[in-house]
A and B are shown apart, each in its own frame.
Chain A
Amino acid sequence: MSTVTAPERADAAPAEEQVLARISYRTPVMYALAGLVTLFVFAVGTDPDASTTFQLASGSSWFTIPNFGVPSLVGALLLAAAQLAAAGWAYVLLRSRRGVPVWLHLLVGVAFVVSFLVWAGAGRTSVIPVTSLLAGALALSVPLIFGAMSGVICERSGVINIAIEGQLLFGAFVAAAIASQFASGYAGLAAAPFAGAAVGALLAWFAVSFRVNQIIVGVVLNTLVIGLTGFLFSTLMADDPGSWNARQPLGVIRIPVLSEIPVLGPVLFQQTILVYIMYVLVAVLQFMLFRSRWGLRTRAVGEHPKAADTVGIKVNTRRVWNVVLGGAVAGLGGAFFTVGSGLAFGREMSAGQGYIALAAMILGKWNPRLAVLAALLFGFSKNLGNVLSTIGSGVPSELLLMLPYIITIFAVAGFVGRVRPPAANGTAYTKD
């Protein structure tokens, strides 16, 4: 074959005059915008003499960190400078066609949030409780993370799971009912995955076996679960709340030693068993998806089902089981609303978290690890709104409720590049 070398030669020749793609400067623009908001809103709007107090301590640390005050104006100016510097650096990186590292995104995000806190807490007597801000953020993220993992399991195998919402809600309902019947939160927790799996099985039956449009089936199932749980709530549960809808909280388990770490200990290691299950689930899913036979086949079925079929993989069987498994995961996450947070069941208490979980999954590019980060971002911004309205900032509470969604839009528009869903996501598979 005398011609093997030909393509390389053609490559090498025009290298010096190659037309290059247009560079997208979205990232530095977003950084600069954040920096300018910090500068002109947060810094300009701050009284030069004011200071902001942060509280890092929590009851059980080995040592207590005293509250510390930050001169608000100086803090805001420094943070603005940091963000603008990051914008400049990102510009330089992009102009020389190098990527912007992920940690820079995180740094700018944290700087922006801290400058917002500095401004919101400026000149007030109340302190910013950092530990409880983070702990609450993690708690609010729990159903989102379970939901996002459910989405990853289903969509990686090619089935869109809009029914996460219904799976969360049904998990919450069944957990509450079973927990009251057996007077044990753990019994409720054990029952929740089965509830979610039942909704998942319905979805799989219609979407995979009958090839009904997956989004429509999902939405219908959500409505069905809202109706069913609403009906049982106002009949069964309302008639005998003691035996069907009593509060059965899961106990908080402190992990010895680890829970004593300042700030992080109380946030991560003084939680219910549900949160610890979540840690394990995320780690296991991340590993299994990319390093196991199950993961390889799941991804193949979601990307190119025909290719999977030609090597003897049963595409639809795999999809059905994955959707049932995904349903179970979301159902378990639903237990957070009732036994996980020590509340009784309430009508439509999942309140759209299933859809937010789906958004977290997309923001996380169908990757468990990144989806967790996205879910944490949603949880954090939601809790930030809560905390600020309790400590009383100058911002109206209605605006604070919008915070998670504003942050979402900025995150999606600013930091997420082109995302690529699994190629066969949402399409039913038949041989012919």
Chain B
Amino acid sequence: MKLELRGITKVFGSLVANDHIDLVVEPGEIHALLGENGAGKSTLMNVLYGLYDPDDGEILLDDRPVTFTGPGDAVAAGIGMVHQHFMLVPVFTVAESVALGYEPTGRAGVLDLDRARRRVAEISERFGFHVDPDALVEDLPVGVQQRVEIIKALSRDAQVLILDEPTAVLTPQETDELISIMGELKEVGTSIVFITHKLREVRAIADRITVIRRGKVVGEARPTSSETELASMMVGRSVSLSVVKTPADPGASAFQVKDLTVLSPTGTPVVDRVNLDVRAGEILCVAGVQGNGQTELAEAILGLHEAAAGSIVLDGQDLRGKGVRERLRAGIGFVPEDRSTDGAIASFTIAENLVLDLYDTPEFARGVTMSPAKVQANAEQLTQEFDVRLTDVRDPISTLSGGNAQKVVLARELSRPLSLLVASQPTRGLDVGSIEFVHQRVVAERDKGTPVIIVSTELDEVIALADRVAVMYRGRVVGVVDAAQAGGVDRDVLGLMMAGVPYEEATAQAAEHQSTLAMADQGHLPHEEQP
């Protein structure tokens, strides 16, 4: 089915999220929609899917104009969408999730779950998804949940499939599998709109690329364009994709985590006997797919989670039993994963947010009273130093963009002398310019001789920043890879380790994988083996 969007405009208050966007997707085409976070890609797709009403413009399917009042209409017209945050009910089975909204029923609205199960099994078999219709959604790995979403769309005869940032939650291997699934769908004539900000993927799979910046189409690119070309189109200026840094000059071991175990509320270990050793003046990246215990590890270091076993030692001082405040005072700087809820208080001003950890120190307070003038001066100085774009430091921090808010959090944490910096997902959701800035500051902190721990699920970020990489899988450290050793870190090796494969094996498998890829290039697509 041919899909055409003409002059789509969507306005939220004063923000023009989509400004007269035109887009044509030919039948059986994989069309990438490339743009930074906040460029308006998801808004456009939500308009197409009937979730938002466009303020202007029209949607044409096979050259016939259509209007959607809700997702039901879009689905009926043959449009399927796999949302970035899956639209699956965690406590439902796969069959129930797929059936929801289009339930096969017998008499009196009684569910015919057998029919739903058969439908899942049929599609799963046709595309080799290996999905059990009776499994509970919450028990499935994210990669499989994504396949459930695809089955959901296909079970409604989707002719156009929208994939919104589909690779954000996947391991590199799962991404490869998704790419081969997309290839198969294309074979049977399904058009695919693939939304992403990851340049590598776009080049690997897209037939055509439309680049969106600040709500406008800035042009079409060819998959043969280089990553630098694509990046400058996406950002609007030339950017450097690699982090400029000198080799690390690590000092003595400054921070040790020994046999650290953290239990979830239900009592299962989420961090499972983890050992880490970070030296002064080096960046240790903790890599892994979201949800493998990295978040809990970082939070346990700050004392937000109680350690069930093991010890955390900073500069020879055991932090066990110490509260969060004592740990901050011991010199831990912490950039939390979710800056909007954990990193700042949205309704507080920028100036107040900059002293959240120091408001009661003699620097800003005397007795029970605070000194607003000092808080203000501190904010003026820090926001200038960290290049925060703002109108007034007395505005609530919620008025700042994601990148500027993150700079405020970073400014607060880096403004005091640190003996350890822990940053979780420091660049998630930021624009390329802010990412560059954050990376530079992190490297600068390292060069001051501070041990740095970066938790990241973005392989590109890990490879760019890390001096050493610890890969976590299901709460355990699978292995630690030295970036300086033997010509740096191999993406495929890290990817395999993120799926739980130990280092030596991963190296061997990666070599093998390279050779299969070479075969694929010669036209022999390897078919998925039955596990």
A residues whose Cβ falls under 8 Å from a Cβ of B = 1-11, 14, 19, 21-22, 24, 291-297, 299-300, 303-304, 306-314, 418, 423, 431-432
Contacts and interface: CB of A to CB of B under 8 A. Distances in A.
Closest A-B pairs by Cβ, 10 of them: A312-B72, A10-B500, A311-B101, A21-B267, A307-B87, A1-B528, A293-B109, A3-B173, A293-B103, A310-B87
A270 to B, nearest CB: 31
A137 to B, nearest CB: 33
B493 to A, nearest CB: 12
Given A3-B509, A300-B89, A304-B89, A19 B109 contact: no
A380 B470 CA distance: 58
Contacts of B103: 293, 296-297
6 contacts: A1-B526, A2-B512, A2-B513, A293-B103, A296-B111, A313-B101
A311 B73 CA distance: 10
Contact of A5 (B89, B90, B512, B531): B531
A111 B432 CA distance: 68
B265 A311 contact: no
Nearest to B527: A1
A33 B516 CA distance: 65
Contacts of B152: 311
A156 to B, nearest CB: 11
Contact of B496 (A3, A24, A292, A312): A3
B451 to A, nearest CB: 27
A418 B263 CA distance: 15
B266 A293 contact: no
Contacts of B476: 14
Contact of A296 (B12, B88, B100, B531): B100
Nearest to A10: B500
Nearest to A23: B267
B348 interface: no
Contacts of B70: 309, 312, 314
B423 to A, nearest CB: 27
Interface residues of B, number: 63
Residue among A300, A418, A432 facing the most chain B CB atoms (10 A cut-off): A300
Interface string B484-498: 000000000000100
Interface in B78-104: 81, 83, 86-92, 96, 99-103
Interface stretch (B268-276, B330-338, B460-468): B268-276
A292 B51 CA distance: 26
Nearest to A307: B87
B49 interface: yes
B51 A304 contact: no
Given A6-B173, A6-B500, A431-B51, A299 B529 contact: no
Given A291-B110, A300-B92, A4 B81 contact: no
Given A2-B526, A10-B499, A308-B101, 18 more contacts: A7-B500, A10-B478, A19-B261, A19-B272, A21-B267, A24-B267, A292-B105, A293-B109, A293-B110, A299-B89, A304-B90, A309-B51, A311-B71, A311-B87, A311-B100, A312-B75, A313-B101, A314-B70
A300 B90 CA distance: 9
B49 A310 contact: yes
A314 B101 CA distance: 10
Nearest to A309: B71
B501 interface: yes
A306 B89 CA distance: 10
Nearest to B87: A307
A8 B102 CA distance: 34
B180 interface: yes
B67 to A, nearest CB: 15
A211 B169 CA distance: 32
Contacts of B268: 21
A396 B528 CA distance: 74
Contacts of B265: 418
Nearest to B83: A310
Nearest to B474: A10
A10 B109 CA distance: 44
Contacts of A4: 177, 528-529, 531
A10 B501 contact: yes
Contacts, number: 140
B176 A312 contact: no
A5 B261 CA distance: 27
B88 A304 contact: yes
B310 to A, nearest CB: 11
Interface in B12-65: 12, 49, 51-52
Given A2-B516, A308-B101, A8 B88 contact: no
Given A297-B100, A309-B71, A431-B51, A7 B177 contact: no
Nearest to B99: A296
Contacts of B75: 311-312
B255 interface: no
Contacts of B81: 310
B194 interface: no
B330 to A, nearest CB: 28
Contacts of B309: 19
Contacts of A313: 100-101
Contacts of A303: 89-92
Contacts of A21: 263, 266-269
Interface centre among B87, B102, B268, B512 (most CB of A within 10 A): B87
Contacts of B474: 10
Most chain A beta carbons < 10 A, residue from B52, B265, B500, B509 = B500
Contacts of B173: 1, 3, 6
Residue of B87, B100, B180 contacting most chain A CB atoms (<10 Å): B100
Contacts of B513: 2-3
Contacts of A309: 51, 70-71
A303 to B, nearest CB: 5
Contacts of A10: 473-474, 478, 499-502
Contacts of B502: 10
B529 A311 contact: no
Contacts of A6: 173, 496, 499-501, 509
B92 to A, nearest CB: 7
Contacts of A294: 109
Contacts of A9: 500-501
Nearest to A295: B111
A271 to B, nearest CB: 27
B270 to A, nearest CB: 11
A1 B176 contact: yes
B90 A423 contact: yes
A292 B500 contact: no
A303 B103 CA distance: 18
A307 B100 contact: yes
A310 B72 CA distance: 7
Contacts of A293: 103, 105, 109-111
A292 B87 contact: no
B74 to A, nearest CB: 9
A308 B102 CA distance: 11
A321 to B, nearest CB: 14
Nearest to A290: B111
A307 B89 contact: yes
A8 B509 CA distance: 15
Contacts of A291: 110-111
A418 B173 CA distance: 36
Given A19-B261, A291-B111, A311 B88 contact: no
B272 A1 contact: no
A7 B144 CA distance: 13
B180 A311 contact: no
B111 to A, nearest CB: 6
B209 to A, nearest CB: 26
A158 B231 CA distance: 44
A66 B473 CA distance: 68
A4 B72 CA distance: 35
Contacts of A300: 89, 92, 100
A14 B263 CA distance: 17
A389 B500 CA distance: 65
Contact of B269 (A19, A292, A311): A19
